[in-house]
Amino acid sequence: MARRIAFNYTQALDRATTLFWQHGYTETGLRELLKTMEIGEGSFYNTLKSKKHLYLSCVEHYGETVVRRRLEALAQAATAAEGIRAFFRVSLDCLDAPDTPSRLCLVAAMVSEQVLAEPELRECVQGELEKVRGIFLARLEQDRERGLLPASLDPQVTAAIITTYLQGFWRMALVGYDRSAFERQIDSFLSAMGL
């Protein structure tokens, strides 16, 4: 018979996600997680197995909540160009929100030597980045097929460049953030890409 979870799993996962988002994987300790999640060590190991397993669950939770809003903005726009701009607008909204735990996206924060050194976490990073790149790619291909983008635009290369720019976007927000300056930069970048 499966054990019954003796705590509010969703609430605990949400709290852990916030903690990992604030401090990163390596800087978040087990004691701090247990305290924040309000669970005991036994419940933690019986349900979540390990810090790494919890982290992977938190990345998935982050994707289903925070990243989902960005991707919905991308998908709901009439064109790829409008959708990519909407994706960045929602990302800027996240940076503006006073309750955002960190200026660095949780997925972008995974791109670190410590996280990438662990094969299972590296695989997760690659999968998350590929997921976003693939969604950009699908929108770009769709618009090129509809004649809304020039035939010379290579969707594969463009999607990869936007994904790479996105990583720098998050890191530069750590250095200094001014929304209007970021908006001008994003506009110039996407215009130069033909979007």
- The average confidence (pLDDT) of the chain is 92
Could you tell me which residues come within 8 angstroms of residue 98 by beta carbon, excluding any fewer than 6 positions away?
A: none
Task: Note the pLDDT of residue 7.
Answer: 66
Please report which confidence band the pLDDT of residue 5 belongs to, taking 50, 70 and 90 as the band edges: low
Q: What sections of 40-116 are H helices per DSSP?
A: 41-48, 51-62, 68-76, 80-96, 106-109, 113-116
Contact (CB, 8 A) for 62 and 71: no
Q: Which tens digits make up the pLDDT trace of 118-168?
A: 999 999 999 999 999 999 999 999 999 999 999 899 999 999 999 999 999
Could you tell me which residues come within 8 angstroms of residue 175 by beta carbon, excluding any fewer than 6 positions away?
A: none
Q: State yes or no: pLDDT of 6 exceeds 70.
A: no
Q: State yes or no: pLDDT of 1 exceeds 50.
A: no
* Structural domains in the chain plus CATH codes: 9-192 (1.10.357.10)
Contact (CB, 8 A) for 47 and 9: yes
